[in-house]
Amino acid sequence: MADRAVVKREEWQEARQKLLEEERAHAARSEELAQRLKDLPWVQVDEEYALDTDEGMSENPTSIAFAREDGAVYHTYTRSAPDRDLVAPYYGQLLDMTPKGRVDEFQAIGHDEYEDE
């Protein structure tokens, strides 16, 4: 068994309540950041972009958001790794609820970097 405390239900409930309060504060902060993201100014795109490519995933995966409004295209947001929640946002949340949680180091591997079996 892992090196961790084993306690009575009441002590666990007290620790869980304390953590719940912190989770609520974290959620409120997350909502605040989400609103700031929505309020971020846009930049009109004046150049051609090639979003379809045959190249493999780089070491720094990035998510870029665009919006089209009144015939114009705008760059609205960019989010780059290292960010565990970027590649599979719900995966990390699910792992957080498991006894062993997330791994210490997250590393994206390109499709052409897998070892042959």
Residue 88 φ/ψ, nearest 5 degrees: -140, 85
What's the pLDDT score for residue 106? 54
What's the pLDDT score for residue 93? 74
pLDDT digits (tens, 9 = 90+) for 69-97: 999 999 999 877 666 565 566 767 777 77
CA–CA gap between residue 108 and residue 83 (Å, rounded): 10
What's the pLDDT score for residue 80? 74
Give the residue among 64, 60, 37, 38 at the shortest CA–CA distance from 50: 64
What pLDDT band is residue 99 in, cutting at 50, 70 and 90?
Answer: confident
CA–CA gap between residue 114 and residue 111 (Å, rounded): 6
Share the mean pLDDT of the chain.
80
Q: Which of 1-15, 50-64, 70-84, 98-112 has the lowest mean pLDDT?
A: 98-112
**Cis before 89 (ω within 30):** no
What's the pLDDT score for residue 2? 63
Residue 113 has pLDDT above 60, yes or no: yes
What's the pLDDT score for residue 117? 54
Residue 29 has pLDDT above 70, yes or no: yes
Q: Is the whole model's pTM more than 0.85, yes or no?
A: no
